[in-house]
Chain A
């Protein structure tokens, strides 16, 4: 394993993050505050509690998930798309590094950025509502795995995209609707029975449910199923990336 190369890629990506640290810090704080004002105060005043948890606190895991999923995708997709766009990808492809080392470097950095943003949102949420974390280790594990898997997914999108429009296509048209419809701001049990069945086909439901369980001990689907879903998604993404580097798809031809 070429650890020096992994660190070089990781460091370079984190340097880019450091250049925009203020933006990276302020944006999630602002958006979280807005969500609390709109959802927590305006809507929350009409919803007393959800399964014994105040609505303001109930939406915190969903808010964190929404941000780390979208940030994981955008950070990782941009990280590999930008070198392709400006041509510097030649250096990565001509270096004595394996696909796994390249992936660890880029995806590791993107996941770190998402974790940072998740932590900022959690800290901001503390200013608005009281939050209890029933299973802190599970919370960290769910958050880490989600950051990792969605960064892997973003990495695939970044390799696949041929232009900026394609780079935005899947996050905007697929991921954001799935997250909003995945129980970020409501419990699946609040839906009519037919929609409860439909929503179980949304993979994001399993991630948000497991994450919310780590906070309040409440889950829409069994926690084991949530872990299985996230592990399966991670493995699927890793498999696709392995195939991309083996065939050179959109990289070496």
Chain B
């Protein structure tokens, strides 16, 4: 599929000397959802801000659907919608006037039917005449999305869209994102909630200290870097593991009531069958067995910690 966003050698050095981005390369294809993960200060917001025209880059290139963001900024920006991290809305204006303003600002002719469809899809139609200060926090976030969608963008940047919202609303947001993807909108999402990336992203990019550490399909990343663990709960507590298990890296946990075994899913043999047999030989009686896949969060933390080291 053709790329809709190409970032090449993007650099940003602030006047203070802080290097927020040091040569970022990133290609995003049409219609995908990319989760951009990184710790605070990693460069996520700077990267988005440069692409959207809010911050001037120090070097490098960005093309949106082939249009350079500096030399052909009108065409590039017309394709982008941005939902910022902070709730930034005119408090005394109505929802309808705000979305109408956003559409006009991007040079699109008035289209009340489209605005109505956007507001309905975000469950805001009933609130179209309400002033922003009368809305709840969740509704304000949806108004931000409605404003970003008012001019029918091809790429939508969601900068921490569910920060500080409750679980129910977060799930509602994910449904909205899924709906947008179904309509062919490319979505780039930054988030602190790794669960969010795990739930909705097609690909994951990890950024740290101004550099992209990896970009990979989520499923492949989890298969490649993910590990599984087997927790064996014991019928009777034991004081220590027999010596023969020392080389297998087993851990005695829960005050001697369970054993933890890590194994690689890509290995030819997991070693589970032989482990269980050996435990039986030692007279250790099992009560229950639970397996768990390591989460994206654990992979992310591992990557960032490794990079810091």
What is the minimal beta-carbon distance from A186 to any residue of chain B, in angstroms? 41
- Specify the chain A residue showing the minimal Cβ separation from B74: A96
Does any Cβ of B come within 8 Å of A130's Cβ?
Answer: no
Chain A residues with a Cβ closer than 8 Å to the other chain, count: 25
Partner of B73, one of A16, A87, A96: A96
- B52-111 contacts to A (CB < 8 Å): 52-56, 73-78, 80, 82, 84, 86, 88-93, 97, 100-109
Cα distance, A44 to B127, chains bound together (Å) = 56
Does any Cβ of B come within 8 Å of A198's Cβ?
Answer: no
Does any Cβ of B come within 8 Å of A236's Cβ?
Answer: no
Contacts of B75 in A (CB 8 A): 96
What is the minimal beta-carbon distance from B16 to any residue of chain A, in angstroms? 10
Decide if B54 touches A8 in the complex (CB within 8 Å).
Answer: no
Chain B residues with a Cβ closer than 8 Å to the other chain, count: 35
Does any Cβ of B come within 8 Å of A126's Cβ?
Answer: no
Q: Using a Cβ cutoff of 8 Å, how many contacts connect chains A and B? A: 80
Decide if A253 touches B55 in the complex (CB within 8 Å).
Answer: yes
Decide if B105 touches A252 in the complex (CB within 8 Å).
Answer: no
Cα distance, A253 to B14, chains bound together (Å) = 8
Contacts of B54 in A (CB 8 A): 90, 93-94, 252
Does any Cβ of A come within 8 Å of B147's Cβ?
Answer: yes
Extra contacts, 8 of them, besides A8-B103, A96-B107 (Cβ < 8 A), are A2-B107, A5-B105, A8-B101, A91-B102, A91-B147, A93-B54, A96-B75, A252-B53
21 sample A-B contacts, Cβ–Cβ < 8 Å, listed by A number? A5-B104, A9-B105, A12-B93, A12-B101, A87-B84, A87-B86, A88-B88, A88-B90, A90-B82, A91-B102, A93-B54, A94-B77, A95-B106, A95-B107, A96-B74, A96-B78, A97-B107, A248-B56, A252-B53, A252-B55, A253-B14
> Which A residues fall within an 8 A CB radius of B?
2, 4-5, 7-9, 11-12, 15-16, 19, 86-88, 90-97, 248, 252-253
